Amino acid sequence: MRNRQGQRRTTSFRLVLGGLAALIAGPAIAQSCIPAAERTAFDVRAVQSQLMVAALACGRDNDYNAFVRKFQRDLQASYNGLQSHFRRTAGAAGQRELDNFITILANAHSQDSIRAGSFFCPLTTPLFQQALAKNDAASLAEFAMERNIVNPMAAPACAAAAAPAARTPARPAARR
């Protein structure tokens, strides 16, 4: 039994590493930054994935269902944002790349639960109430950053374009 469990962990670890390598080599990660709305979508999905793994590992189905009910629109909008991102960056392979990303994300959170062992549930159970205290996708994305929730998409949001400066009459340059 012990040997099979070790083999499963090794296989899972290899799958995660292989998936991460594929993701990192893919066009989505090649960017130095992504639009802010897409960054939010990736962070919201990371929170959802973390809570899904916690629900399965810790028997917190009711908490996860409450989270999904409260943020149903935000979760759907985030999924749509991820679809747009992968369509934009991977073209016809966009859906496959999205599916790969979601699998890699879930595997990363699952590996966290394995590494944490018996500490996982006591550490993650409070995340449900903390997430439920948020109001929208933006606050969930901020929560993901504050709690350092695992997210293989490491590209930061691109800086917003600076608003045009108010026009002021030109002044002659000061002379010395």
Residue bearing the bigger pLDDT, 109 or 173: 109
Confirm whether 120 is domain-assigned: yes
The pLDDT > 70 percentage for the chain reads 73
**What is residue 24's predicted lDDT score, i.e. its pLDDT?**
43
Helical packing angle, 72-90 and 94-116, nearest 10°: 120
- Copy the structure tokens of residue 108: 């990363």
**What is residue 97's predicted lDDT score, i.e. its pLDDT?**
96
- Asked if residue 15 has pLDDT above 90, the reply is no
User: Are 134 and 68 within 8 A, CB to CB?
Assistant: no
Confirm whether 34 is domain-assigned: yes
Taking the C-alpha atoms of residue 12 and residue 138, their distance in angstroms, rounded to an integer, is 32
Taking the C-alpha atoms of residue 83 and residue 105, their distance in angstroms, rounded to an integer, is 15
- Asked if residue 9 has pLDDT above 90, the reply is no
Residue bearing the bigger pLDDT, 171 or 5: 5
Q: Look-up: residue for tokens 């903390």? A: 130
Residue 155 neighbours by CB under 8 Å, 6+ apart: 28, 29, 31, 32, 33, 34, 39
| pLDDT-based confidence at residue 163 (cuts at 50, 70, 90) | very low
| pLDDT-based confidence at residue 27 (cuts at 50, 70, 90) | very low
In terms of Cα–Cα distance, which of 114, 105, 85, 97 is closest to 151? 105
pTM of the model: 0.73
Confirm whether 176 is domain-assigned: no
Confirm whether 68 is domain-assigned: yes
* Number of domains making up the chain: 1
- Asked if residue 127 has pLDDT above 50, the reply is yes
The whole-number average pLDDT for the span 111-123 is 94
- Asked if residue 26 has pLDDT above 90, the reply is no
Q: Look-up: residue for tokens 């293989």? A: 152
Confirm whether 60 is domain-assigned: yes
Confirm whether 161 is domain-assigned: no
Confirm whether 168 is domain-assigned: no
Provide the residue range defining the domain that includes 110. 7-146
Confirm whether 131 is domain-assigned: yes
